[in-house]
Structure 1
Amino acid sequence: MNSLIATYIAWIIAQTGLSVPDHPPIHFVTPTEMAMRYGTPENSGLELQALYNRTEGAIYLPQAWRPDDLRQKSALLHELVHHVQRSNNMDLPCIAAYERQAYELQIKWLREQGVEDPYALIGISGLGIYMLSVCRDGS
């Protein structure tokens, strides 16, 4: 896992020009724990691929996470983008704004892996990314 994280961080740094952070702690948790950390009921229908805890600087992955699954690997890369953002003290206008770069890099990485439609693979549209990354009053 350490070599995978190092590879992804190096790729993120090459794309962004930001500084290299220390590796974040990685925690493998149950679906219930993932839902609790996200603040969503487990039966909400939301399938959590990974989470980044900005306060802890830690990534949470489901226990069933597989290093050979391209979608799951891209979710790890997405969360590592958040770790790089945090470690570089990026100051954006709201928490949601951090998502745009993370999704853009996740999509770019998936295309480099040969995925023709990365949006379909991760289950989000360009509009969905916009909606998740736009600052709203009080966010």
Structure 2
Amino acid sequence: PEGWTGTSPAEVSVLVHELVHHLQNVGGVAYDCPEAREKPAYQAQARWLELFGGSLEEAFQVDPMTILVRTNCMF
């Protein structure tokens, strides 16, 4: 994206998140719904941020309830 430099842990965490999706696609991993495939991506992103003392909430204002809604199948 425009303006992306990859110089901060938060910026690189977006790449980590998207790399998880790439690996899911290459590996042919199936999920019950599109939202469910977000869970491992958010988990990896959160772990990356934690390595640098950050969090999804701090870096992107994404709280645990938002993650819950974004990662569960709501049929």
Length-normalised TM-score, structure 1: 0.51
Determine if contact 2:56/2:63 at 8 Å carries over to the other structure.
no
For structure 2, list consecutive stretches of 5 or more residues without a partner in the other structure: none
Amino acid at match of 2:61: G
Amino acid at match of 2:25: R
CA deviation digits over 1:31-57, x for unaligned, max 9?
A: xxxxxxxxxxxxxxxxxxxxxxxxxxx
After superposition, the CA RMSD in angstroms is: 1.2
How many pairs are equivalent?
Answer: 75
CA-CA distance at 1:77 after TM superposition = 0.7
Moved over 6 A (4+): none
CA deviation digits over 1:85-118, x for unaligned, max 9?
A: 1111111100110111100110011111232x44
Secondary structure, counterpart of 2:70 in structure 1: helix
For structure 1, list consecutive stretches of 5 or more residues without a partner in the other structure: 1-61
Residue in structure 2 matched with residue 135 of structure 1 by the alignment? 73
Q: 1:102 aligns with which of 10, 19, 41?
A: 41
Say which structure is richer in strand.
1
Q: 1:114 aligns with which of 40, 53, 68?
A: 53
